[in-house]
Chains A and B, each alone.
Chain A
Amino acid sequence: MTRVAKRWLTALVLGALFGLGLTLSGMTRPEVVKAFLDVTGDWDPSLAFVMGGAVVTFALIFRLAHRRAAPRLGGRFPRLPRRADPELFVGAALFGLGWGLAGICPGPALVDLGAGIGDVAVFTGAMLAGVVLHRLAGLGASGAREVTPSDEPVRADVIPGKPA
Chain B
Amino acid sequence: MGTWWMALLGGVLIGGSAGLLYLLHGRIAGISGVLGAAMMPETSERAWRVAFVVGLVAVGLVARLAAPETVPLTGTGTSTPLLVLAGLLVGFGTRLGNGCTSGHGVCGVGRAAPRSLAATGTFLAVAMLVVLVTRHLLGGAA
Contacts and interface: CB of A to CB of B under 8 A. Distances in A.
B14 A18 contact: yes
Nearest to A140: B96
Given A50-B8, A62-B19, A111-B59, A29 B72 contact: yes
Contacts of A126: 83-88, 91
A91 B17 contact: no
A12 B126 contact: no
A98 to B, nearest CB: 3
Interface residues of B, number: 115
B21 to A, nearest CB: 5
Nearest to A128: B91
Contacts of A27: 10
A120 B114 CA distance: 33
B56 A18 contact: yes
Interface string B50-61: 011111111111
B39 A128 contact: yes
Contacts of A13: 55
Interface string B65-96: 00100111101111010111111111111111
Interface in A58-83: 58-62, 64-65, 68, 70-73, 75-78, 80-83
B52 A53 contact: no
Contact of A100 (B35, B36, B97, B130): B130
B2 A46 contact: yes
Contacts of B28: 78, 80
B55 A18 contact: yes
Given A64-B23, A78-B26, A112-B60, A7 B47 contact: yes
B90 A135 contact: no
Nearest to A101: B86
Contacts of B58: 15-16, 19, 114
Given A25-B14, A54-B105, A92-B126, 14 more contacts: A18-B29, A24-B13, A25-B7, A41-B136, A50-B7, A54-B18, A56-B110, A82-B113, A82-B115, A84-B118, A89-B119, A95-B126, A101-B130, A127-B91
10 contacts: A12-B51, A12-B54, A14-B55, A65-B22, A70-B26, A92-B97, A97-B89, A127-B88, A141-B97, A142-B115
For the complex of A and B, the 10 pairs showing the least CB-CB separation, nearest first, are A130-B91, A91-B97, A15-B55, A25-B10, A114-B60, A53-B11, A126-B87, A61-B19, A100-B130, A96-B126
